[in-house]
Amino acid sequence: MRYALMIYREPGSIEALSDEEREAAYADYFAFGEDERCVSGAQLQPAETATCVRVAGGRTLMTDGPFADTKEVLGGFCLVEAADLDEAIELAARIPAARFGGTVEVRPVMRF
């Protein structure tokens, strides 16, 4: 089954790490990407670059930045193939953001 691992972190959290911690975190991200269960993934540009789109009354409305003002922002995602939720959670725990105050949301993916 496929799971989306959505990575939320506080803006500036990576920059707040020491050079050694930051290098180790990036190495962990690259190693995670090499795991055969990792189907795809990407780091997102900062939330300030986002455009939110809604359609109301047949009109397309756009706003800058994330729709919700929150402490953590979606910083990236991974799509993984895992046998079950437990395996997906084990994979999510390997993501450095989870160790540095962020959150990794694990959600099953529906196939069309």
Write down the pTM of the prediction.
0.85
Q: State residue 66's pLDDT score.
A: 66
- Residues 6+ positions from 14 with CB-CB distance below 8 Å: 22, 25, 100
Q: For the chain (length 112 residues), average pLDDT per consecutive 10?
A: 95 87 93 95 90 93 75 91 97 94 95 82
Q: How big is the CA angle at 39 (ends 68 and 43), to the nearest 5 degrees?
A: 40
CB burial class (10 A; 0-12, 13-18, 19+) of residue 85?
middle
Q: 3-state DSSP call for residue 104? A: strand
Residue 63: the pLDDT is 87
Looking at residue 1, its pLDDT comes to 96
